[in-house]
Structure formats: C-alpha cells, structure tokens
Amino acid sequence: MTARRAGGCLLFLVSLILLLLIVGFALGTAAQGYEAPWISVPIGLPLVAALIPTAWALWAGRRVRPVAGMALAGAALGYGLSLTLLTWGIAGGVAKRTDWLAGTAFIALLPFPPGILLFAFLAWLLLRRQGIPAAPFLFLGIALSFAAAWAGLWVYFPRLWGDPEAWPVHAFFLIPALLVLGMGMTLGRARR
C-alpha cells in the first residue's frame, strides 16, 4: 500500500509539473503576442486529465485499471477533438491563401493520429474485461472526432472527393477512425 501511495504521489507531482509547464507556456506566448496558447492548452490538458485520476486511484488504493483506462480514453477523445478543431482551423486558413507553401500547415496534424491511437489502444487494453458501460461510447466519440476532422477538409476542399491522389488523405483520417471504432465494438460485445 505504501508503494501505491508513493506511486500516486509521484504521478500527481508529474501531472502538476506538466500543468504548470502548460500554463507557463501559454502565458509566456500570450505575453509575447503569439497565437500559441490556443495550441498548447488543448494539447497538454488531456494528458493531465489522464494522469490526475490515475494518481488518485493509486493513492486511494482503488482499482487502477478502470480509472486509468477511462482516463486514457478520455484523453484520446480530448486529442481527437483537438485534431478536429485544428483540422478545421488549418483548412480554413489554407483555403484563403494562394501561395504554394500554404498546404505545409497540414504537417501540424501528423502527430495526432498516432498519439490518439496509442492512447486508445492502451485504454482498450486496460478496459477489456472491466465491463464499464460508458467505455464503448468514448471510443465512438474518438472515431467520430476523426470523421469530423475528415469532413472539415471536404467542406473547404470539395475538389478532393474525386481525386485519386487524395486517397492517402482519406486513409489518414478513416483508417484510425475504423480502428478505434473496432476497439469500441469489442468492448461493447465483451460487456454483454
């Protein structure tokens, strides 16, 4: 029990340091006049939101697997919503520009799907045999966030629908959505 409490305190300390770094970065960039605060807060907060309940479960001696699994699934959903907002924002900005380098802004989206899939997979591993009724709905939300991000491109760039060269763009959003949806469906089946 002492080791669990020490682990919970350490995890809480790590989450507190991460939260202070996020707030410090957001305030520092806002003071300099950059637009980075709107990026740093949604990128860091889901991870902090996953660490704090897990630290509490460790410290309080509760079952850690369901708490950590739901926290990781919630963090993946938070990152999925960040991906959606960022995709819509970048697509809107790129659609207004005419220079050929405008499309390079989409490089900012590349880290999101692997991170979301990693969090979703870890959550799925922790929640497999827990029988939590809300877990499949979190995975459905993650899949829908990928679909909403994908839809953001087609609102601003409808010409990509029939272009065979845009198939990797379809795959970038739809393959992770299908993988996460499949994980959620296996959780729903395991609950029955």
Q: What is the pLDDT along the chain (192 residues), one digit of tens a residue?
A: 677 788 888 888 888 888 888 788 777 777 777 665 556 666 777 888 888 888 888 888 778 888 888 888 988 998 899 889 888 988 888 888 877 777 787 888 888 899 899 999 999 998 888 888 888 999 999 999 999 999 988 888 877 777 788 788 888 999 999 999 999 999 876 555
Distance CA 41, CA 119 (A): 18
Cβ proximity of 176 and 116 under 8 Å: yes
Look at residue 36 in the predicted model and tell me its pLDDT.
57
Residue among 179, 155, 157, 165 nearest 80 (CA): 179
Look at residue 40 in the predicted model and tell me its pLDDT.
62
Distance CA 30, CA 127 (A): 39
Close Cβ partners of 72 (under 8 Å, ≥ 6 residues apart): 50, 119, 120, 122, 123, 126
Cβ proximity of 115 and 86 under 8 Å: no
Domain ranges of the chain: 1-62, 63-192
Look at residue 142 in the predicted model and tell me its pLDDT.
95
Look at residue 149 in the predicted model and tell me its pLDDT.
92
Total length of the chain: 192
Look at residue 57 in the predicted model and tell me its pLDDT.
83
Look at residue 124 in the predicted model and tell me its pLDDT.
92
Look at residue 179 in the predicted model and tell me its pLDDT.
95
